[in-house]
Amino acid sequence: EVQLVESGGGLVQPGGSLRLSCVASGFTFSDYWMTWVRQAPGKGLEWVANINQDGSEKYYVDSVRGRFTISRDNAKNSMNLQMNSLRADDTAVYYCARDGRRELVYWGQGTLVTVSS
Amino acid sequence: DIHMTQSPSSLSASVGDRVTITCRASQSISNYLNWYQQKPGKAPKVLIYAISSLQSGVPSRFSGSGSGTDFTLTISSLQPEDFATYYCQQSYSTPCTFGPGTKVDIK
């Protein structure tokens, strides 16, 4: 059974940093692109970033480029999102997801990030 | 970036109704169009990928169609468990943008 478990969310002050992790199981992690998607409270889904199988390709939405860094450790079946210079509008539930052909087939349960003073 | 729109933003329907949701991309996205269902407090679930391919385990009352920039999700006979929010997403180019969502609730 495929499982994706996010962790690392919490309350952080504006300008602060947070590192999210996603641990995968039930599939060969190194075979798949992985993606982060976020959802602000009461709002829609926003694609944040993705990373290819060996970590050599990374893409970001403009609003986080230069502040967030996506990475992965295939030996540990994990993906991370380092978030720096956090702003109030980064407040959201952050989901990790595994790509299929080009769709997001499996999702974690999400971890809540709250940016507030 | 490719901009996705959806209509309507919300709709009220009854069990057994046929429901159609439309999605439009700001440029041609070939067949890289996916549909997701999300229920409150839960992660999204993929229903349809590549315009019209049904994800394994998804009931056949869900179907997708369209081409180029205009796409449709149809629920042939709405069931109680289908009341949810539906999102389209393009995976043609990054960022792989989502539509704003369509909330389907009970009439």
Mutate one of B35, B37, B46, B93 to test the A interface: name it (highest A CB count within 10 A): B46
Instruction: Kindly tell me if the per-residue pLDDT of B106 is higher than 90.
Output: no
> Does B54 contact A at CB distance below 8 Å?
no
Mean pLDDT value across residues A13-37: 98
The Cα–Cα gap between A16 and B47 comes to: 37
- Per residue in A54-81, pLDDT (tens digit) is 999 999 999 999 999 999 999 999 999 9
- Measured between beta carbons, the chain B residues lying within 8 angstroms of A103 are 34, 46, 49-50, 55, 89, 91
Residue A117: its pLDDT value, please? 96
**Mean pLDDT over each residue of chain A, to the nearest integer:** 98
* Residue in A with minimal Cα distance to B97: A47
- Per residue in B24-54, pLDDT (tens digit) is 999 999 999 999 999 999 999 999 999 999 9
Mutate one of A104, A105, A109, A112 to test the B interface: name it (highest B CB count within 10 A): A104
Instruction: Kindly tell me if the per-residue pLDDT of A101 is higher than 90.
Output: no
Q: Cβ separation of B98 and A44 shorter than 8 Å?
A: yes
Task: For A94, list phi and psi in degrees, rounded to 5.
Answer: -105, 125
Stretch (H or E) spanning B72: strand B70-75
Q: Considering chain A, what percentage of its residues have pLDDT values greater than 70?
A: 100
> Does B38 contact A at CB distance below 8 Å?
yes
Count of Cβ atoms closer than 10 Å to residue A15 Cβ = 11
The Cα–Cα gap between A62 and B6 comes to: 22
Residue B94: its pLDDT value, please? 95
Q: Cβ separation of A59 and B95 shorter than 8 Å?
A: yes
Q: Is A35 within 8 Å of A68 (Cβ atoms)?
A: no
- Measured between beta carbons, the chain A residues lying within 8 angstroms of B38 are 45
Residue A113: its pLDDT value, please? 98
What DSSP string runs through B19-70?
Answer: EEEEEEESS--TT-EEEEEE-TTS--EEEEETTTEEPTT--TTEEEEEETTE
Instruction: Write a three-state SS string for chain A.
Output: CCEEEEECCEEECCCCCEEEEEEEECCCHHHCCEEEEEECCCCCEEEEEEECCCCCCEEECCCCECCEEEEEEHHHCEEEEEECCCCHHHCEEEEEEEECCCCEEEECCCEEEEECC
Instruction: Please name which of A32, A1, A5, A34 lies closest in space to residue A110, comparing C-alpha atoms.
Output: A5
Mean pLDDT value across residues A75-89: 98
Residue B89: its pLDDT value, please? 98
* Token pair for A24: 């995968």
Q: B32 to chain A nearest CA, in Å?
A: 7
**Sole residue written with tokens 């993929």:** B46
> Does B101 contact A at CB distance below 8 Å?
yes
